[in-house]
């Protein structure tokens, strides 16, 4: 790998000669400053989560050189983003905006089209523009991470006053996560639903503000998301229709107390009745946060120990090995663990917790875990921090399951129903068994739906293992779609396939997206192929994967 890296030549986007490309980059240097335009001619270094590369996907499931940038540019203002977009249109160069590029498991910082120029917005556009303690809102730039906002609240003495919401890993960008419709674990966990107001640079270089932001002199941009007329924000999430340069976000008032709880359930078959118990509790907000129902296999992996510590054979790790390992942990043996949090002062919590306890105990063998018996590095405490809006990175540990561990997810959406949970669980298990892959299912219960997140951990230096993981994923996506389940989000490599499953009425939605793309981005320069949307300049040339 190192040898190949030393020989590395910069990639040039298709359709432009190397000399012309280098000339175009020099022109951009004049606008942005020499040091803010970097050609990607260095060895590709993977780094780790907090020191991740912005040139490629450090967890790639393809060859390293597939989804790779030709150059990375660092704007410092919205005006500079506009300049970059106009430049890209002039030379017909594909550009790919990232906020921070920590979207690991979904493509990281990588562009979909090899040789795109990556716009790393986060490096220099990283200001918290406003925190409004009365309205519980903020306005941020792309480089503001969950950690940064959390620290800012702490520094300003506002941490007791209001909370942020963080996803499983707190190092990512608030804007990046929100536009990709990521979720967190407080009652404000649906990030997209909790944002209010965008500033967007369009693919032709104009800039717009959505919602109340369109009214000069307004003071409600972050408190009323809709403004007047069509609600345009939607087309800027999971798309390639614009570059978000500012976003408003609502923050949660400190609920006045909180308490994490963990229940374990013994049998795999407990899944269906448990999900049916969860549904009414979640919809009526007795279960107040996006809670996780996790399989014990992933909890064992979350210890951070490699698989080889437990088992050296091939194929799915046997259940008895997992259960024996679980029995040795402070939690003890189980199959499913439910992690949740109750919010509010003690007298309010106790009522809700009693209801939950009575319902969960309808499952024979249900155990409530006493947190005071759990050591400080137990995974439970990571869930506890995250559900209290405290950013964390403990979740990275299960990636050590494989040497040179990387991960990619199968994440179908279903109703919160036992029959659906069982169907998806059986589907994932059968396909992963076929491909000899350990099965890490976790059900994330939203309000009226749940995502099943199945992370596949693979060795990023083993081409055979990567191919197997990808074939397995593709099969799961197709089988799930045939039963009516679609992915809520996906990795770059699966975007065409997943978009293709949303094909009702002869692919009418896909065609609508193409019409929008062609109208907004006539040269098709902005993030071509992202979420399966290609501008007309790319269609019909076999770019789809």
SS3 198: strand
Q: Does 530 bind ligand ADP (CB under 6 A)?
A: yes
- Tell whether residue 495 is a contact of ligand ADP (CB under 6 A): no
Q: Which is nearer to ligand ADP, 176 or 340 (CB)?
A: 176
Give the residue with the Cβ less far from ligand ADP, 59 or 179.
179
Does 408 participate in binding ligand ADP (rule CB under 6 A)?
no
- Which of 94, 142, 340, 389 forms a contact with ligand ADP (CB under 6 A)? 142
Compare residues 295 and 489 and give the one whose CB is closer to ligand ADP: 489
Whole-number minimum distance, CB 172 to ligand ADP, in Å? 3
Residue 92: how many CB atoms within 10 A of its CB?
Answer: 14
Question: Which helix H or strand E contains 259, and what residues bound it?
Answer: strand 258-265
Q: Rounded to the nearest whole angstrom, what is the least distance from the CB of residue 98 to ligand ADP in the complex? A: 4
Q: Is 231 a catalytic residue?
A: no
Listing DSSP states for 263-322 in one string gives EEE--GGGHHHHHHHHHHHHHTTSS-S-EEEEEHHHHHHTT---GGGT--SSSSPPHHHH
Helices (H), 92-182: 146-155, 174-179
**Catalytic position from the list 74, 91, 106, 258:** 106
- Six-digit token pair at 371? 């947190």
498 lines the binding site for ligand ADP (CB under 6 A) = no
**Is 489 marked active-site?**
yes
Sheet holding 37-39, edge to edge: 37-39, 71-73, 117-120, 95-98
Beta bridge partners of 444: 292, 451
Task: Pick the stretch among 131-139, 171-179, 371-379, 396-404 that binds ligand ADP (CB under 6 A).
Answer: 171-179
121 binds ligand ADP (CB under 6 A): yes
Count other C-beta atoms under 10 Å from residue 417's C-beta: 16
Kindly state the smallest distance separating residue 173's Cβ from ligand ADP, in Å.
3
In terms of Cβ atoms closer than 10 Å to its own Cβ (0-12, 13-18, 19+), residue 475 is: middle
488 tagged catalytic: yes
Using alpha carbons, select from 300, 331, 240, 143 the residue that is nearest to residue 530. Answer: 240
Q: How far apart (Å, rounded) are the C-alpha atoms in residues 335 and 299?
A: 10
Binder among 82, 126, 173, 501 for ligand ADP (CB under 6 A)? 173
Asked if 75 is part of the footprint of ligand ADP (rule: CB under 6 A), the reply reads: no
Instruction: Report if residue 209 touches ligand ADP, rule: CB under 6 A.
Output: no
State how beta strands 117-120 and 95-98 pair.
Answer: parallel
Contacts with ligand ADP: how many residues (CB under 6 A)?
Answer: 22
Please tell me whether residue 524 adopts helix, strand or coil conformation.
coil
- Is residue 94 part of the contact set for ligand ADP (CB under 6 A)? no
What are the C-alpha distances in Å from 302 to residues 294, 329, 429?
11, 12, 19
Active-site residue, from 114, 383, 489, 530:
489
For residue 101, what is the DSSP state?
-
Q: Which stretch binds ligand ADP (CB under 6 A): 130-138, 173-181, 292-300, 415-423?
A: 173-181
Minimum distance from CB of 25 to ligand ADP (Å)?
21
For residue 332, the tally of other CB atoms under 10 A from its CB is 12
Write down the least CB distance from residue 69 to ligand ADP, Å.
11
Residue in 180, 270, 288, 395 binding ligand ADP, rule: CB under 6 A: 180
Cite the active site residues. 106, 488-489
Interface ranges with ligand ADP (CB under 6 A): 97-103, 107, 109, 121, 142, 172-173, 175-177, 179-180, 243-244, 527, 530
């Amino acid at each position: 790998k190192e040898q190949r890296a030393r020989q590395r030549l910069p990639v040039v986007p298709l359709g432009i000669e190397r000399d012309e490309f280098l000339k175009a980059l020099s022109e951009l240097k004049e606008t942005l400053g020499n040091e803010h335009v970097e050609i990607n001619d260095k060895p590709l270094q993977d780094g780790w989560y907090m020191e991740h590369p912005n040139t490629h996907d450090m967890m790639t499931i393809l060859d390293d050189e597939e989804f790779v940038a030709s150059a990375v540019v660092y704007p410092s203002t919205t005006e500079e983003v506009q300049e970059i977009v106009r430049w890209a249109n002039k030379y017909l160069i594909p550009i790919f905006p990232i906020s921070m590029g920590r979207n690991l498991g979904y493509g990281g910082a990588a562009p979909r089209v090899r040789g795109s120029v990556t716009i790393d917005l986060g490096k220099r556009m990283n200001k918290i523009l406003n925190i409004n303690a009365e309205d519980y809102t903020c306005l941020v730039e792309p480089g503001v991470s969950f950690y940064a906002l959390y620290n800012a609240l702490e520094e300003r003495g506002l941490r007791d006053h209001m909370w942020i919401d963080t996803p499983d890993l707190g190092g990512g960008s608030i804007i990046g996560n929100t536009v990709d419709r990521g979720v967190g674990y407080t009652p404000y966990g649906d990030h997209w639903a909790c944002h209010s107001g965008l500033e967007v640079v369009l693919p032709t270089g104009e800039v717009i503000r959505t919602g109340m932001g369109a009214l000069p002199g307004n003071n409600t941009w972050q408190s009323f998301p809709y403004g007047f007329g069509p609600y345009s924000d939607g087309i800027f999430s999971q798309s390639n229709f614009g570059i978000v340069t500012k976003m408003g976000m609502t923050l949660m008032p400190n609920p006045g107390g909180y308490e994490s709880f963990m229940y374990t359930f013994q049998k795999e078959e407990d899944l269906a009745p448990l999900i049916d118990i969860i549904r009414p509790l979640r919809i009526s907000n007795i279960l107040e946060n996006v809670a996780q129902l996790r399989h014990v296999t992933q909890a064992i992996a979350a210890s951070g120990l490699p698989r080889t510590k437990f088992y050296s054979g091939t194929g799915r790790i046997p259940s008895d090995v997992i259960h024996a390992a679980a029995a040795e942990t402070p939690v003890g043996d189980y199959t499913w663990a439910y992690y949740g949090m109750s919010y509010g002062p003690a007298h309010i919590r106790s009522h809700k917790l009693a209801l939950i306890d009575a319902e969960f105990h309808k499952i024979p063998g249900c155990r409530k875990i006493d947190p005071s018996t759990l050591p400080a590095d137990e995974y439970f405490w990571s869930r506890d921090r995250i559900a209290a809006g405290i950013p964390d990175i403990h979740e990275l540990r299960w990636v050590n399951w494989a040497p040179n561990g990387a991960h990619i997810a199968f994440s179908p959406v279903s109703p919160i129903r036992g029959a659906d949970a069982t169907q998806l669980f059986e589907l994932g298990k059968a396909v992963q068994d076929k491909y000899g892959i350990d099965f890490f299912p976790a059900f994330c219960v939203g309000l009226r739906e749940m995502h099943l997140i199945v992370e596949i951990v693979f060795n990023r230096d083993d081409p055979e293992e990567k191919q197997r993981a990808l074939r397995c994923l593709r099969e799961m996506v197709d089988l799930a779609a045939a039963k009516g389940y679609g992915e809520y989000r996906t990795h770059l490599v699966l975007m065409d396939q997943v978009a293709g499953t949303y094909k009702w009425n002869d692919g009418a939605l896909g065609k609508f997206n193409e019409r929008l793309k062609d109208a907004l981005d006539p040269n098709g320069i902005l993030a071509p192929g992202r979420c399966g949307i290609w501008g007309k300049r790319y269609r019909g040339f076999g770019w789809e994967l």
